[in-house]
Structure 1
Amino acid sequence: MLDLENFAPRDRVDAFHHAMTDTSVPNDIVHEAPESGMHARIEGWRVGGLDLFDMRCSGFEVRRTARHVRGHRDRPVVSVSLQTRGVHRAEQAGGRFILGPEDICVFHELAPRTYGWSGHGASQAITMDMEYLGVPVDTVLRASVRLRASPLHDLLLGHLRALWRDPGRLEADPGAAALANATTELVRALLTSAAHDERDRQVRAAMDSSLVARIMAYARRHLTDPDLSPERIAVEHAISKRQLYVVLGRAGIRLEQWLIGERLDAACRLLASPRHAALPVSAVATRCGFTSPSHFTRRFREAYGVTPSEWRRHRLRPRVPVADESASGEFTVPRRAGPASHSE
């Protein structure tokens, strides 16, 4: 989107300001050493309904006043950002705070604020439509200065970091729209949770709306734990086991089958990896969360039609091109159609 290395030094301030006003409401921007040391690179992606911006630049400060806010665009946005380099300073809602790599920063376009850093810094921001997010300005402001008070902070932090691993790939993925919806739900839940008392009806509603996303994120983080069970997942989310099944059932998810399928996929990757060729099949089973090697082998055969050892030999066998592959003695391992319906 923008690389100031492509501009003469005398034109860099104007180019930077033009890029900033194209992606946000007007601001006052003050730069450190604009004549000699100014540099910036801004890249952008669109993932579903979300706009992602990666900015790396020299020191600057953006000041948005009430006058600027009055000139907002037709569809204002809320930005959610991570500070990936440098120490960032912000003022909003009457408070001043310092932001580091473990913090989430939230700004509402319809609220005055000051933000920036000194020296070389970088941030990764996601913007979402205010109307689609559905959180009032005053709620965003109250939440923005106490995000860490919510138990959802670290969950969203991990989710945002995962989004930024390869935004270009996510942009083209057919699941981008669903991913954008899930991200918006998590942001809404965090803002509502941080802004209100946890006993508040609005907080409970927001937590309920993001429950499936939170359950699946928790399950993925603990997928290799042999003791990961429906009971444990339910306890971690303060719901009954019956409620867990009801919530996931509405989303079309059969929990035990999903867990087994994810573990089998992980096992396939390990078995096909030359780096782990010496790892016994029993150790692969343990690493992927199976408590019994025989149970793992049975599940694997049910899903793929071959044993784990046969899969490994096939995947690691040196390939010799032949005119008719069926004549080479090789077999084709079918794609997993899904594990059997009984639970682990």
Structure 2
Amino acid sequence: MAVLLDTATLPPRERRDALITTMLEASGVTRVDVEDEPVRARVDLWSFGTASILRAEASGFANVRTAKAARAASGEHIAIGVHEHGVARYQAGTITRAVPAGEILVVDVSKPFTFGWRGFGAAQSLNTWTEDLALPADLVRRAALRLRSSPLYGLFSRHILDITRNADQLSGSPAAGMLGAASIELARALIATAVDDAAETREVVEQTLVVQIRAYVRQHLRDPDLGPASIAAALSISPRHLHRVCANAGLRLEQWIITSRLDRAKAELVHPSARHRSIGRVAVGWGFKDPTHFSRRFRAAFGMLPSEWRRSAE
């Protein structure tokens, strides 16, 4: 985590300029209008691979991106925000809208806009590049006006709020990049399901489901009961649907699970911290119920027995 600003640590006379500087650097805007005095603010930024979460709680201010700056933008940057406290105001082109707590807002940060609030408020956003979101700009614009029609609206809002509440722990995890990728996929599904293009929506939802399948498998590789039935149940889909989605994505699920377990077990067998563990214990630890079956699989995959691999690394 990076605490970009905490005005409680600054003398009152420095807080206004500090808020302006921080928001200019963190949000890519070209002007920050401070609405309220005295200034009180905290701004945090957490990295999740190619995505990030930005949270700001502050007395009244407004971020402004001018048309001139938008024309000079070198890349397209999307922020999908969840307003947390107070009522904000958002303006883009001819659209002006109030944003109450709990509302989701899609902001193309590379285009002209104004966003802010009066009084004390708070908001957080998932930030990523448009190319990582991988959706047509026209679809994003249409969806932004009718996000509440998506069945994923509440899920996405809770997802971003939950990540933010636990961001210190999650951003420091080895899985932070995967969580960022999964969040981007969830954002894609939110946007796609807010429009009426059934074919495009179905494709995006299936791609998102594949990401969820991969993430679930990685998190549960050590579970000996991991398989199509348990994965389908965890994701609230039928085993038949699971197999169809995997087939469409070219993912041989059960083989991928075995290969992933073998790779993890192979690395652990020669890790200095695991030298005291028996081969059987390592095998069971990675979800293999039968050490003999593990040895056969290991030899088929790597051309040697686990014991031979371990000796070769001594």
1:68 matched to 2:69? The reply is yes
| Counterpart secondary structure, 1:79 | strand
Q: What is residue 299 of structure 2 aligned with on the other side?
A: none
- Within 2, Cα distance between the matches of 1:117 and 1:83? 11
- Within 2, Cα distance between the matches of 1:101 and 1:253? 43
Question: What is the one-letter code of the residue matched to 1:30?
Answer: D
Task: Check conservation: 1:43, 1:54, Cα contact below 8 A.
Answer: yes
Task: Check conservation: 1:234, 1:244, Cα contact below 8 A.
Answer: no
Task: Check conservation: 1:111, 1:137, Cα contact below 8 A.
Answer: no
- Within 2, Cα distance between the matches of 1:3 and 1:87? 22
- Within 2, Cα distance between the matches of 1:162 and 1:30? 30
- Within 1, Cα distance between the matches of 2:252 and 2:171? 24
- Within 2, Cα distance between the matches of 1:151 and 1:94? 27
1:3 matched to 2:6? The reply is yes
- Give the TM-score, by structure 1 length: 0.62
Report matched runs for 1:10-159 at 5 Å.
10-34=13-37, 37-72=38-73, 74-92=74-92, 94-159=94-159
Question: What is the one-letter code of the residue matched to 2:166?
Answer: D
- Within 2, Cα distance between the matches of 1:190 and 1:197? 12
**Are residues 251 and 97 of structure 1, via their aligned partners in 2, closer, same or farther at CA, if it must alter by over 3 Å?**
farther
**Are residues 31 and 234 of structure 1, via their aligned partners in 2, closer, same or farther at CA, if it must alter by over 3 Å?**
closer
Report matched runs for 1:214-225 at 5 Å.
none
Question: What is the one-letter code of the residue matched to 1:92?
Answer: A
Task: Check conservation: 2:56, 2:124, Cα contact below 8 A.
Answer: yes
Q: What is residue 204 of structure 1 aligned with on the other side?
A: 202
| Counterpart secondary structure, 1:140 | helix
| Counterpart secondary structure, 1:205 | helix
1:173 matched to 2:179? The reply is no
CA RMSD of aligned residues (A): 3.6
Cα offset for 1:125? Answer: 1.7
Q: What is residue 241 of structure 2 aligned with on the other side?
A: 243
Task: Check conservation: 1:108, 1:140, Cα contact below 8 A.
Answer: no
**Are residues 98 and 26 of structure 1, via their aligned partners in 2, closer, same or farther at CA, if it must alter by over 3 Å?**
closer
Task: Check conservation: 1:89, 1:96, Cα contact below 8 A.
Answer: yes
User: How many residues were matched structurally?
Assistant: 251
Which ranges of structure 2 fall in alignment gaps of 5 or more residues? 217-228, 256-282, 291-314
Q: What is residue 186 of structure 2 aligned with on the other side?
A: 186
Report matched runs for 1:231-310 at 5 Å.
241-247=239-245, 250=251, 252=253
Task: Check conservation: 1:79, 1:108, Cα contact below 8 A.
Answer: yes
**Are residues 87 and 96 of structure 1, via their aligned partners in 2, closer, same or farther at CA, if it must alter by over 3 Å?**
same
Cα offset for 1:93? Answer: 5.3
- Within 2, Cα distance between the matches of 1:177 and 1:45? 11
Q: Deviations over 1:91-136 (max 9, x none)?
A: 2353332223332121112222221111111111221122211223
**Are residues 235 and 41 of structure 1, via their aligned partners in 2, closer, same or farther at CA, if it must alter by over 3 Å?**
closer
Task: Give percent identity, aligned residues only.
Answer: 30
| Counterpart secondary structure, 2:165 | coil
- Within 2, Cα distance between the matches of 1:182 and 1:157? 14
**Are residues 21 and 32 of structure 1, via their aligned partners in 2, closer, same or farther at CA, if it must alter by over 3 Å?**
closer
Cα offset for 1:180? Answer: 1.3
1:160 matched to 2:163? The reply is no
Task: Check conservation: 2:89, 2:97, Cα contact below 8 A.
Answer: yes
| Counterpart secondary structure, 1:158 | helix
- Within 1, Cα distance between the matches of 2:48 and 2:179? 8
Cα offset for 1:57? Answer: 0.4
Cα offset for 1:79? Answer: 0.7
Task: Check conservation: 2:44, 2:54, Cα contact below 8 A.
Answer: yes
Q: Deviations over 1:142-191 (max 9, x none)?
A: 22221111112122222222212211211121111111111111111212
- Within 2, Cα distance between the matches of 1:71 and 1:170? 35
| Counterpart secondary structure, 1:170 | helix
**Are residues 174 and 33 of structure 1, via their aligned partners in 2, closer, same or farther at CA, if it must alter by over 3 Å?**
closer
Task: Check conservation: 1:57, 1:121, Cα contact below 8 A.
Answer: yes
Task: Check conservation: 1:182, 1:213, Cα contact below 8 A.
Answer: yes
**Are residues 251 and 31 of structure 1, via their aligned partners in 2, closer, same or farther at CA, if it must alter by over 3 Å?**
farther
- Within 2, Cα distance between the matches of 1:340 and 1:248? 25
| Counterpart secondary structure, 1:82 | strand
Which ranges of structure 1 fall in alignment gaps of 5 or more residues? 219-228, 255-333
- Within 2, Cα distance between the matches of 1:204 and 1:93? 31
